[in-house]
Structure 1
């Protein structure tokens, strides 16, 4: 989804090519970048309203945006009149996104307020209210349609981005909870049992000789659990962070290269933006998990990472020349195989983890898109 936001951003050469761009169009042009730079702040929208009011020769504007987790709106206003700010409900049926209409109740009271539908987020509309000193002329109505269309595109892109981030966060939290249960919680239960046993050993002088090996076992278990917690924290923090998939893959390969003696080869032939945003993050996570397994378990000298575009989809391969897989491939444990399979299933892809005929291990993801 970040790519859809990027398409809304101003490009410097475009701005230079149109030096006579009206002030309100230039302000709308720069709005997506300002919203990204001041993430979570309404300041860019508040500062935009006086410019739009002047462009339409209106008495005042009020931007109504849905509250994030409650009914109703938050109001961003640039008003000179004392008109009733609650009048959207006067209109009866609110305009659909892209539609504009005059508030009938305001007209009956001698006011000229236009209502423009911008978007609907989580079932609630965003609206732009514009107060005119008299019945708006044709050019004012056309400018209102132009302004509301641009605002709708910007707000919709950011709303879709917020929705996607919420979905990703929910999925990641579920996966993190399952991994905590399957790894850290089990290790803690084991440590609790061993600590109780160690207490019994110290209570019996005849068993003191067995305390040393038990302490060593406790230390080893703590080291394993500490590493697992650090890996879970690293995975939970991983996002695209505004990078393309190509940039994120290159950074990941460089990161694993620094902490191992393996020689990594990355062959990424995927065109830019060929995957949806949710797919890019899952592919990145699967590749990183596969690389982590190589570094921890394979004793490999070389690792090959390959990404290709198929006729309808992509294929991803991570292959090494290490010691290969154990004869009994675990469904859980330190290999993260279940998590990789869950990530593949989340995007409807097929994942194979197999031994290579010439030695080593191959992780192969095939994703056919409709």
Structure 2
């Protein structure tokens, strides 16, 4: 993606003495930036197609891309004779990316339609379909092949970005659902049981016992309110254009304001030591570990350390608190399952070292493969 955007910048910074490139080349070079600026919109592609059509001296140009999560194609471009079930459906072997061929089904019907392979997604090929008034000449086929390369690269990059976002969204939904089950749902079940018991105590006019149970219900509601707020905050958390260093510093400041712990952040990782898809998960794991410290550890000092190790990185959150109990209370998972799932999502290993009275160390090791 970065290489495509850099290519756009270089084209825009063309020296004055260099002839201006053809309009279709300018449009192709600007496409990655336009797609990034108008994420999810078809307008940049629809504006590109007329430039390609004029340069190719074609009758019509249409872009066919695989449907997201569904069979079939999504078509962009205007052509009255292109209907559902038409080419590429009757093309037995669509061209591979970077290849150009005439559609044999269309040729048998007396039409000269060239298909240029762009990229593969979900086992379906994206195609640029071009109708010519007569059999295309060699220069037209060569020009179509030249056009298909940068167009395919841009579409492939954004297709991979979409797949990554879908995987991240699916993983986040799974984590959120399990966290809701492990915390809020269990707390609601407990409160429901206590409320039923309270009704029995009130019927028996046991006022002292009723007051104690009412206090317990209030405490349970406060805990559940805090858990729901934390889940909402976690679901909304993004890097928001920040580096991992900036996001960690902001998180440490946030926890410092809301607790009596003294936090020490020692980040020796270069800014780009972790890939972008791993940075948000690392941030989430660190925040979950800090939340556990504030809620359970009774710690005075907390150390957050990030450092390179070999071709990877190590992240540690260490406190001087009471440590984890040998037998955790029922329903008390301390977010360990969620942290392990986040680590597994980026191919990292999570370990926890703790002993009663000796504090806890959460260690995340991420290594390049």
TM-score (norm 2): 0.87
Query: 1:88 and 2:85 equivalent?
Result: no
Distance 1:357 1:210, change over 3 A: closer
Residue 209 of structure 1: aligned partner:
208
> Counterparts of 1:71 and 1:334 in 2: how far apart (Å)?
41
Q: Residue 128 of structure 1: CA displacement?
A: 0.7
Q: Residue 229 of structure 1: CA displacement?
A: 1.4
CA contact (8 A) 2:298 2:322 kept: no
Matches within 5 A, 1:338-357: 338-355=337-354
> Counterparts of 2:215 and 2:94 in 1: how far apart (Å)?
70
Residue 141 of structure 1: aligned partner:
141
Q: Secondary structure at the match of 1:280?
A: helix
Residue 122 of structure 1: aligned partner:
122
Matches within 5 A, 1:146-161: 146-161=146-161
Residue 4 of structure 2: aligned partner:
8
Q: Secondary structure at the match of 1:26?
A: helix
Q: Residue 366 of structure 1: CA displacement?
A: 1.9
Q: What do residues 136-155 of structure 1 show as CA deviations (whole Å, max 9, x unaligned)? A: 33332222112211111111
Matches within 5 A, 1:227-266: 227-266=226-265
CA contact (8 A) 1:356 1:362 kept: no
Q: Residue 220 of structure 1: CA displacement?
A: 0.2
Q: Secondary structure at the match of 1:91?
A: coil
Q: Residue 196 of structure 1: CA displacement?
A: 0.7
Residue 323 of structure 2: aligned partner:
325
Q: Residue 89 of structure 1: CA displacement?
A: 3.5
> Counterparts of 1:243 and 1:58 in 2: how far apart (Å)?
46
Q: Residue 258 of structure 1: CA displacement?
A: 4.1
Q: Secondary structure at the match of 2:5?
A: coil
CA contact (8 A) 2:64 2:76 kept: yes
Query: 1:112 and 2:115 equivalent?
Result: no
> Counterparts of 1:250 and 1:55 in 2: how far apart (Å)?
52
Further displaced range: 191-200 or 90-99: 90-99
Residue 170 of structure 2: aligned partner:
170
Distance 1:259 1:62, change over 3 A: same
CA contact (8 A) 2:324 2:359 kept: no
> Counterparts of 1:209 and 1:299 in 2: how far apart (Å)?
31
> Counterparts of 2:178 and 2:237 in 1: how far apart (Å)?
17
Further displaced range: 263-272 or 167-176: 263-272
Unaligned runs of 5+ in 2: none
> How many residues are aligned here?
362
Further displaced range: 109-118 or 195-204: 109-118
Distance 1:325 1:104, change over 3 A: same
CA contact (8 A) 1:351 1:364 kept: yes
> Counterparts of 2:343 and 2:108 in 1: how far apart (Å)?
59
Unaligned runs of 5+ in 1: none
Residue 102 of structure 1: aligned partner:
102
Q: What do residues 106-146 of structure 1 show as CA deviations (whole Å, max 9, x unaligned)? A: 33444322101112211222111012233333332222112
- Corresponding residue to 1:17 among 14, 18, 24: 14
Further displaced range: 65-74 or 180-189: 65-74
CA contact (8 A) 2:323 2:357 kept: no
Distance 1:242 1:29, change over 3 A: farther
Distance 1:111 1:327, change over 3 A: closer
Distance 1:84 1:220, change over 3 A: closer
Q: Residue 333 of structure 1: CA displacement?
A: 2.2
CA contact (8 A) 2:268 2:306 kept: yes
Further displaced range: 175-184 or 239-248: 239-248
CA contact (8 A) 1:50 1:78 kept: no
Q: Residue 241 of structure 1: CA displacement?
A: 4.4
TM-score (norm 1): 0.87
Distance 1:291 1:55, change over 3 A: farther
Q: What do residues 240-297 of structure 1 show as CA deviations (whole Å, max 9, x unaligned)? A: 4454433433343343344345454433333344434443332221111112223334
> Counterparts of 2:35 and 2:355 in 1: how far apart (Å)?
49
Distance 1:326 1:113, change over 3 A: closer
> Counterparts of 1:131 and 1:232 in 2: how far apart (Å)?
53
CA contact (8 A) 2:322 2:356 kept: no
What is the RMSD computed on CA atoms of the aligned residues? 2.8
Residue 335 of structure 1: aligned partner:
334
